[in-house]
Every structure is written in C-alpha cells, then in structure tokens.
A and B are shown apart, each in its own frame.
Chain A
Amino acid sequence: MKMYKVFALVYLDFKIFANAKGRLAEFLYFPITTVILWGLFSKFVEDMALEAGLVVFVVNIFWTFAYLAQSTVNMQMNEDSWSGSMKQIMITGLSEFEYLFARIISSAVVSLLVISIMLALAYYGFGLTLLTTNFSSIIALSLITLVGSIGLAILVAAIIFMAGIEYAFLGWTANQVFLLLSAPFYPSTIYPPVMQPLVWAMPFTAVFENVRYMVANNAISGALLSISIITAFAYVAFSLPIYYYVFKYAKKTGRIVRMS
C-alpha cells in the first residue's frame, strides 16, 4: 500500500469537508441536535424512568456515531461518482485498497472527533456522569462501533460497485436496517426466536446490549464485549474479500467506468 496515495485522498476528502457546508452540517448539526434532543428527553423522564431515559440517550449517541462512521466512507465514494471525478482519481495508479483505506481514515478521523464532541456535550450539558465512571468502557465501545461501521461500509461499497451508482442511496440508508435489527433501545429478545441468529449477526447488537448493561450496572459485560469485538472484526474480515472481488468484477464489466 502506497501511503502517499492514501494521504492524498484524505487531503482531498478534508478539503471537501471544509469547503462543503452541507457536509459540515452533517458532521456537526445533526449530532449536536441529537444530543440536545435526547439529553432533554432523558432529563424529562429522569423521575419517571431514569434508566430508560439514559439508555435512549446513550444509544442515540452511539447510533449517530455508527451512522456517521459508515456513511462517511460510502458518501465520499458516491461523491467521486456524482462529481464525475472517479475516473480522474482511479487512473493515477491507485489500488482498490488505497482507495478504500483513505476513506476509512477520513471517516474515522471525522466520526471520532464528532463522538468526542457529542460525549463532551452529554457530560457537560446534561450531566451524563456515566461517561467518567465508565470512561475506558465508553472508549472501547466507541472503537468497536467504529470497526463494525467500517465493516458495514465496506460491504455497502461492494454492493454499490456491484449494482451500480443507482444504488448509491444505500450509503445513507443501509445503516438504518442494521441498527433496527441490532435492537438499539430494547433487548434483543424482543425479536422472535427465529430472528435471533440474524439479530446477533448484526454489527451493533452486542454493543447496544452492553450500553444497556452499563446503564443498569454501571459496568460493562465482558462476555458482551467479546461478542461485539468478534462481530465487528468479522464484518471487516467478511467484507474485505467481497469488496476486493466486486471491485475486480466492476473493472471487468465496465461498472467502474460507468460510475465515472
């Protein structure tokens, strides 16, 4: 992997982020308003259902983070196609993994920065003390969510390369179904037994279970942590070869050219 090519693309991404106000709004406006919205909700239900309010609040922060980490990877790829510059980028001797890795770095930097802002706001604005008492657990869960989101982003990128740019909408919609099936605000057992294998195959189920566990017990579960680590890395390990072969296929069928 030629790191100068990766950093050139990261440079390009950050220039786009800085110059495109819409992207800045996506990175700041929605995450900040999400924290305010659910922070106020958690304050409102404090006397009625403290635990439920905190679960909704913290899960929403992780939800937003997961969405941002995944969609930023896919949206930068979509933007290359929509702006008609994919060909100009691809002909520079860039490999499919350099192309992907650059987008992962851009996404990781932005989304880690955003979750830091969200957590700081939750702590200072809404007194979410859980963040300091479980600081290392929050860091661990954030990193696992990031890895799972990247695994998902690689899978979505592969689907878009396979199916064509008409399916670019998956970049900002795919996460919703994965999050829904990851049982965010309720226990996974809410789903019928037949769906359990699917629910536990979701990248964020164990993370959300652990967030709820942390709110209830002021500590995280080691078993759930292990499951979430395995699931997140399994997504990356599963998605990477698919991405590789789909990219080769897209180069063979002319899909890359048509996306340019």
Chain B
Amino acid sequence: MTIMSVSNMNVIEIDGVSKKFKEQGRKFYALRDVSLSVKEGEIFGLLGPNGSGKTTMLNIIMNILDPDAGSVKILGRDPRKDRIVMESVNFVSGDARFHWALTVGNVLNFYGMIYNIEKKERKKRLEELTRAFGIEHLLNRRFYTLSTGETMRTVLVKALLNKPKIILMDEPTLGLDPEIAMKVRKEIRRVNRKFNTTILLTSHYMNEVEELADRIAFINKGRIVDIGSIKDVKGKKFDTYEVIISLAQIRDKPFLLKNGFRIKGNKISKSVSNDRNISEILSLLESRGFRVTYVETRKPTLDDYFVKILSEAKE
C-alpha cells in the first residue's frame, strides 16, 4: 500500500517575486510581490483568469525567465545558481510539442540522457513506464502523429522518467475529451500518491482543481489574492450554502415565504450556515405537516468562488 504524505518541508519557496514586461511601450506587472510555498507531497493549484500571471510564475520556477525581484527556491536551492536542481523537476504541458521528425522513442531517450540516467536503467524505466501508460507500441511513431490522449500519456511518461520530486503542470487536460481528462486526473493523483511527488498545477477547469488540489492560490493581475485549502478559501467568501427540499405538495405558501423559503415548483430552498440549521428546518416543516420527499444541499463550488473573487476584483 502506498501512502501519500504531505510533509511540512517546503519544496518550492517563492518569496517576493515581481516581474514587469514592456508591451507597446507600456510597462505592466505580470507578477507583483508574489510569495507562496508548496509543501512536499501536496498537489497545489494555481488559479486565475487568462493573463493573471500563472504561466509567468511557472516560467520563473522553471528557470527560463528571470524575476526582476524576489527569489525562488526549489528543494531549498536557487535554480539560478544551482541549475542541476532542475533535474529533480519535470514539466507537463497540455500543448507539449517536439520536433516533427522525432519519434516517441527518440524523445524519451533524449530525456533519459539529458537527465543523466544510465543506459541500462533508462531502458528499464522506459519499459516500465511505457507499459504502465500503455504506450509501448508507440515508440517508433512520430510524436506529431499521436492523438491527444497518446500525446498526454507520452508527456506523462517523459515527466516521470527522471523520478522528479516536483512536477509542474500547465493545463494538463487542456483540449482532452472528458474520458481522457478523467484518466489523466487519475494518473496525476496516482503519481502524487505512489511517488509522493509534489505537483504544482495550473488549470482553467475548476472541478479539476477541486478534485485534485490540497491547496490553491488564486492569482489575479499578478497578485496572490487568496491562498489556502479549498475549504478555507471558499469558507472566506461563502459563509452559507443552499438547502433544497422537495415536498410532496406545496401548500401554505405564506408560511413558507414568511420563513424565508424560496419556492420553485414543488421544491423550496433556503440559505443555511451549518447542518444544524437543516435539522431545525426539517423539524419546522414536519411540525406544519409538510411531507418532505428529498433533501439536497448545494455547496459553493470553486467555480462560484472564481466568479465571486473576480467580480469583487472588478468592483
């Protein structure tokens, strides 16, 4: 049995990072004084609208873009001074591309070599991983001829080849159909649990982040707006949720409206702050002779959080 463990050790530490770009003679901040840390073994989601600074953040972490201010540490080391630490990191992108003339085997062998994996060990890992991801039959195929699903599986094999401690994922399920996206999410979780690999991911799909991430940071206009566990960040914005009750028959509308219920068809709904409120509501309805057939709750999703936080930012 494998156990996922989130330790207190920070494997990614970003401290006061700022980055300005110049576009059409105008300077703008892509990141402004961003600080965050990602713990060993956790899945961390970086959320934000288009152009919020997520990809800039990833590029700085990957050491292909220098920040104007601040520092980045990977496993306690500064990749700008100690670039070999990047051999403990790998990257998965939804739109990964390689030269059209290369086969899957060429690409994977190249990564095995550039991460200094000895030939025998490289062959062994390639066999294991290609089998695990079901791409062993694709090794002689040109990378560009692969389907989206095959591409993603190949990229995941590439990302695991060097047994990374950290995997950065930029929109890993971008453009995938739901079935493959679900498989990729399953793989992400499996890799995280099996190898205790820390994962930092960006995604536009809130349900994906909600399903995968232990913690999130919401970034907007280059600033971290919120950071914490999904439950905590949602809790800060939403102190109530909705309970929806189906009744056998709607009657005594004045009573229902007086008690703050909204009525729609044979359903009534009300905002509550905790589960105890639901018991009280059910007792109240029972005491007035209503027959409750079904009770459901609708808790705010990360989508609701995303919309709310953006509308607050606009205000």
Task: Name 8 A/B residue pairs within 8 A (Cβ), A-sorted.
Answer: A5-B114, A9-B110, A11-B110, A15-B110, A19-B142, A91-B91, A93-B84, A254-B65
**Which residues of the partner chain B approach A20 to less than 8 Å between Cβ atoms?**
100-101
A129 contacts chain B at the CB level, 8 A cutoff: no
CA distance A253 to B63 in the complex (A): 13
A254–B21 touching, CB < 8 Å: yes
CA distance A84 to B84 in the complex (A): 23
**Which residues of the partner chain B approach A80 to less than 8 Å between Cβ atoms?**
99
Closest to B155 in A: A88
A90–B64 touching, CB < 8 Å: yes
**Which residues of the partner chain A approach B21 to less than 8 Å between Cβ atoms?**
253-254
**Which residues of the partner chain B approach A23 to less than 8 Å between Cβ atoms?**
101
CA distance A74 to B71 in the complex (A): 33
How many residues on the B side are at the interface (Cβ–Cβ under 8 A)?
Answer: 34
CA distance A90 to B98 in the complex (A): 13
CA distance A94 to B239 in the complex (A): 49
Contact of A7 among B87, B89, B97, B113 (CB under 8 A): B113
Docked complex: A1-21 residues within 8 A CB-CB of B = 2, 4-5, 7-9, 11-12, 15-16, 19-20
Name 5 extra pairs, CB < 8 A, besides A4-B116, A19-B106, A92-B86.
Answer: A11-B113, A20-B101, A85-B99, A91-B89, A251-B64
B87, B89, B101, B116: residue with the most chain A Cβ atoms closer than 10 Å: B101
A92–B109 touching, CB < 8 Å: no
**Which residues of the partner chain A approach B62 to less than 8 Å between Cβ atoms?**
87, 90-91
Closest 9 CB pairs of A and B: A93-B86, A8-B113, A84-B97, A8-B114, A19-B101, A20-B101, A83-B99, A15-B106, A91-B62
A92–B103 touching, CB < 8 Å: no
B83 contacts chain A at the CB level, 8 A cutoff: yes
B87, B95, B99, B109: residue with the most chain A Cβ atoms closer than 10 Å: B99
Give the interface of B toward A (CB within 8 A).
Answer: 21, 59, 62-66, 79, 83-87, 89, 91, 93, 95-103, 106, 109-111, 113-116, 142
Chain A binding surface, main DSSP class: helix
**Which residues of the partner chain A approach B115 to less than 8 Å between Cβ atoms?**
92
A91–B114 touching, CB < 8 Å: no
A252–B66 touching, CB < 8 Å: yes
CA distance A19 to B115 in the complex (A): 23
CA distance A97 to B64 in the complex (A): 14
A79–B99 touching, CB < 8 Å: yes
**Which residues of the partner chain A approach B63 to less than 8 Å between Cβ atoms?**
91, 93
A257–B64 touching, CB < 8 Å: yes
**Which residues of the partner chain A approach B59 to less than 8 Å between Cβ atoms?**
254, 257
B103–A94 touching, CB < 8 Å: no
Closest chain B CB from A197 CB (angstroms): 37
**Which residues of the partner chain A approach B99 to less than 8 Å between Cβ atoms?**
12, 16, 79-80, 83, 85
**Which residues of the partner chain B approach A254 to less than 8 Å between Cβ atoms?**
21, 59, 65
B97–A93 touching, CB < 8 Å: no
B91–A9 touching, CB < 8 Å: no
CA distance A87 to B168 in the complex (A): 13
A159-182 CB mask vs B (1 if < 8 Å, else 0) is 000000000000000000000000
**Which residues of the partner chain B approach A11 to less than 8 Å between Cβ atoms?**
109-110, 113
B106–A88 touching, CB < 8 Å: no
A95 contacts chain B at the CB level, 8 A cutoff: yes
B113–A93 touching, CB < 8 Å: no
**Which residues of the partner chain A approach B102 to less than 8 Å between Cβ atoms?**
12, 15-16, 19
B114–A83 touching, CB < 8 Å: no
A34 contacts chain B at the CB level, 8 A cutoff: no
Closest to B114 in A: A8
**Which residues of the partner chain A approach B83 to less than 8 Å between Cβ atoms?**
93-95
